[in-house]
Amino acid sequence: MRYLAYLLAVLAGAALSFEGAIYAELGNTIGKLETSFYNFFVGSIILTLLWIFFGKGRLSYTLEAPKWTLLGGMLGVVYLTSIVVSVPFVGVGLSMVSVIIGQLIMSMIIEHYGWLGSIGAKINKEKVFAVISMIIALILVY
């Protein structure tokens, strides 16, 4: 099951790159904010269908949950809009590098302090090595 989680995360990253490249093109035709809106609107429709057929959880938990756990959608809007806006100006490469640096910094901080209900694993030697390897990879790519 752990291996499956890693596999899904790789696929998620691949989806992110395809999405960025494709939406940059769509953004040139219909507008940046409109592209984000399209993604979230049609995404809602697809997910409503998925939920009707396969939803096993409890959507009503939304009303009881702490309010900060409901902010995921708003944060996703910031990410997607930033990509659609910046790709035509600085290119896919540089945009992805900036996103990645942001991701690395934030996930280290979140997990080290166990913020936002995360597992709360301390930063250790191996994780620092991992980040150094990622930075070397980034330098080699661009």
Partner 1 sequence: MGILMILFTLIGGLTLSTQSAINGTFSRKAGTIETTLLTFLTGTMFLAILILFWGQGNLSAIVEVPNWQLSAVFLGVLFVLFIVIAVPKIGVIATNITVITGQLAIGMIIDHFGWFNSLVIPLDTSRLFAMVFMALAIYFIYKGNVRSNKEAKQFVESPS
Nearest-approach distance from CB 15 to partner 1, in angstroms: 4
Question: Looking only at residues 80 through 99 of this chain, which bind partner 1 when binding is defined by CB under 8 A?
Answer: 80-83, 85-86, 89-96, 98-99
Answer for the pair 79, 12: CB distance below 8 angstroms, yes or no. no
**Under rule CB under 8 A, residue 113 binds partner 1:** no
Nearest-approach distance from CB 24 to partner 1, in angstroms: 8
Residues 12-51: x where in contact with partner 1 by CB under 8 A, - otherwise, as a string:
xxxxxxxx-xxxxxxx-xxxxxxxxxxxxxxxx-xxx-xx
Residues 47-76: x where in contact with partner 1 by CB under 8 A, - otherwise, as a string:
xx-xx--xxxxxx-xx--x--xxxxxxxxx
Nearest-approach distance from CB 93 to partner 1, in angstroms: 7
Answer for the pair 95, 20: CB distance below 8 angstroms, yes or no. yes
**Under rule CB under 8 A, residue 117 binds partner 1:** yes
Answer for the pair 87, 24: CB distance below 8 angstroms, yes or no. yes
Nearest-approach distance from CB 142 to partner 1, in angstroms: 9
